[in-house]
């Protein structure tokens, strides 16, 4: 199986696949990742639309309120981005943009957890 590989010039040693080619790892067609994405959407829906936790009046501003569900959602998000980042680096998926996207997302989730 021969795939055209392009070297990303901005990060030495990082190799990406040309757009439109099949995913050599099978990663993007995995049902497990789709389920995890669905769980993340479900938690966001529960926290923002079904729960009144963030919308009711309280003693502190809304941005400072947390609950066990908040930390659960952030933990799932952090785990997702760590595994997805590792997979992108291991299989060279997405190139420099995906690496930067995952690093930024991990920084954001880490900041929210601290």
Q: Are residues 72 and 95 in the same domain?
A: yes
Q: Is the pLDDT of residue 60 over 60?
A: yes
pLDDT digits (tens, 9 = 90+) for 7-47: 444 555 555 555 554 555 665 556 677 787 788 888 888 87
Whether residue 82 is contained in a domain is answered as: yes
pLDDT band at 62 (very low <50, low <70, confident <90, very high): low
Whether residue 106 is contained in a domain is answered as: yes
Region for 51 from its dihedrals, namely left if φ exceeds 0, alpha if ψ lies in -120 to 50, beta otherwise: beta
Q: Are residues 45 and 79 in the same domain?
A: no
* Number of domains, the chain: 2
Last residue of a domain, one of 42, 58, 74: 58
Q: Are residues 76 and 104 in the same domain?
A: yes
Q: Are residues 47 and 78 in the same domain?
A: no
What's the whole-model pTM score?
Answer: 0.50
Among candidates 76, 52, 81, 75, which has minimal Cα distance to 65? 52
Whether residue 10 is contained in a domain is answered as: no
Mean pLDDT of the residues in the chain: 74
């Amino acid at each position: 199986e021969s795939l055209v590989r392009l070297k990303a010039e901005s990060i030495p040693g990082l190799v990406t696949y040309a757009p439109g080619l099949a995913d050599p790892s099978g990663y993007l067609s995995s049902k497990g990742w789709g389920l995890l994405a669905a769980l993340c959407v479900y938690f966001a829906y529960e926290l923002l639309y079904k729960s009144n936790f963030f919308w009711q009046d309280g003693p502190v501003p809304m941005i400072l309120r947390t609950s066990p569900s908040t930390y659960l959602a952030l933990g799932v998000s952090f785990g997702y981005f760590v595994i997805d980042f590792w997979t992108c680096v291991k299989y060279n998926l997405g190139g420099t943009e995906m690496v930067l996207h995952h690093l930024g997302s991990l920084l954001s989730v880490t900041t929210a957890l601290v």
